[in-house]
C-alpha cells in the first residue's frame, strides 16, 4: 500500500463506526441501507434499518408485499419515493433476475432508483469489488485530499478508482466514508485530527481558497427551504395516509394549507403519479 492508503486504513481500524449494515454482505441488505442513507442522518437509519429488514428480509418478500406496506415501513425516513423505488427494484429482480440483485454495474443501473453511486456501493459493500465511490462524504475526500481541486464526475470517479488498494475495496470504502463524516466535514473540517493530512493535496497547498469541494462531483447542493414547501405537504399527506384514507376535501388541511385547495390537489396528483398514493372513491390512500 501507499502511505496514504495504509495510514487511512489503520486509522479506520481504530476509529471506524460500528454500524449494523457493515455486518452484512447481503446485496439486498446493502441496497436497503444505501437507499435509506440518501439524504438521511445515520442516526435515523440505524434505528430503522434492522426493523425494515425484519419485515422485508429478502427481495422476494419485499416484491410480494403491497407497495403501500413498504411505504408504511418507511415512516420517519423521509423522501418516501425511495420506498417506491425499492419495491419496484424488488419486483424487477423477481421478474428478471430470479429474485436476486444482479452483480454487474450495467444491470444494477437498470434498476429503478439506482444511480451510479448506489450501483457501485452494492458492488463494493456486498461483493467487495475494488471500486472507488463518490458521494457527499467520499466526494470531499476525493476533491480535497486526492486532487486538491474541484473535479467533474468522470474524473472524480477515475481518481476514486485509482486510490483503492487492491483487495481492500470494502475496507477502503468504509474508511473513506468515516473520514468524510467525522473529519473531512463540509463545514469546519477537523484537519488537525486528519490521519492523512501529510498526504492531503489541499493541505500541502496551504488550504487555498476556494475549498476544492465547491462545485466538485458528488457534493450535495444546499436544499431549498423545507417549511411551507411542497415537499412538506407531500410528507404530511403520506403520513396521514399511513393512518388511513384521506378524503379529497381534507387534503388542504392535512397538508397544512387550509386556504389553498388548488395547491393541495396539485401536490396530491404528484403523489399519485409517483406511485405513492391512489385515488379511490374520492379518497386518497397508500397503494
Catalytic (active-site) positions: 34
Distance separating alpha carbons of residues 169 and 128, to the nearest angstrom: 6
**Joined grid coordinates for residue 207:** 488550504
Give the number of other Cβ atoms within 10 Å of residue 166's Cβ: 9
CB burial of residue 82 (10 Å; 0-12, 13-18, 19+): buried
CB burial of residue 2 (10 Å; 0-12, 13-18, 19+): exposed
The phi and psi torsions of 159 (rounded to 5 degrees) equal: -65, -45
Q: Could you tell me if 217 and 152 are in contact, meaning their C-beta atoms sit under 8 angstroms apart? A: yes
Amino acid at each position: 500500500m501507499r502511505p496514504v492508503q495504509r495510514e487511512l486504513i489503520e486509522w479506520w481500524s481504530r476509529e471506524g463506526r460500528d454500524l449494523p449494515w457493515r455486518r452484512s454482505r447481503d446485496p439486498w441488505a446493502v441496497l436497503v441501507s444505501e437507499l435509506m442513507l440518501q439524504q438521511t442522518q445515520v442516526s435515523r437509519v440505524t434505528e430503522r434499518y434492522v426493523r425494515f429488514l425484519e419485515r422485508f428480509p429478502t427481495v422476494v418478500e419485499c416484491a410480494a408485499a403491497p407497495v403501500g406496506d413498504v411505504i408504511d415501513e418507511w415512516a420517519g425516513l423521509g423522501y418516501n419515493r425511495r420506498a417506491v423505488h425499492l419495491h419496484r427494484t424488488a419486483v424487477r429482480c423477481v421478474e428478471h433476475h430470479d429474485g436476486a440483485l444482479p452483480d454487474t454495474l450495467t444491470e444494477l443501473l437498470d434498476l429503478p432508483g439506482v444511480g451510479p453511486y448506489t450501483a457501485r456501493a452494492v458492488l463494493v459493500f456486498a461483493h467487495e469489488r475494488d471500486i472507488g465511490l463518490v458521494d457527499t462524504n467520499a466526494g470531499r475526500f476525493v476533491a480535497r485530499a486526492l486532487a486538491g481541486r474541484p473535479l467533474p464526475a468522470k474524473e472524480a470517479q477515475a481518481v476514486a478508482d485509482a486510490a483503492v488498494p487492491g483487495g481492500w475495496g470494502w475496507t477502503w470504502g468504509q474508511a473513506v466514508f468515516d473520514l468524510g463524516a467525522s473529519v473531512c466535514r463540509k463545514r469546519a473540517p477537523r484537519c488537525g485530527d486528519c490521519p492523512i493530512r501529510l498526504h492531503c493535496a489541499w493541505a500541502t497547498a496551504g488550504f487555498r481558497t476556494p475549498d476544492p469541494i465547491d462545485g466538485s462531483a458528488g457534493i450535495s447542493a444546499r436544499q431549498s427551504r423545507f417549511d411551507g414547501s411542497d415537499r412538506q405537504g407531500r410528507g404530511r399527506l403520506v403520513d396521514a395516509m399511513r393512518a388511513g384514507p384521506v378524503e379529497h376535501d381534507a387534503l388542504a388541511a392535512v397538508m397544512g394549507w387550509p386556504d389553498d385547495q388548488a395547491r393541495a390537489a396539485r401536490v396530491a396528483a404528484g403523489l399519485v403519479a409517483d406511485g405513492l398514493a391512489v385515488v379511490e372513491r374520492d379518497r386518497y390512500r397508500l397503494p
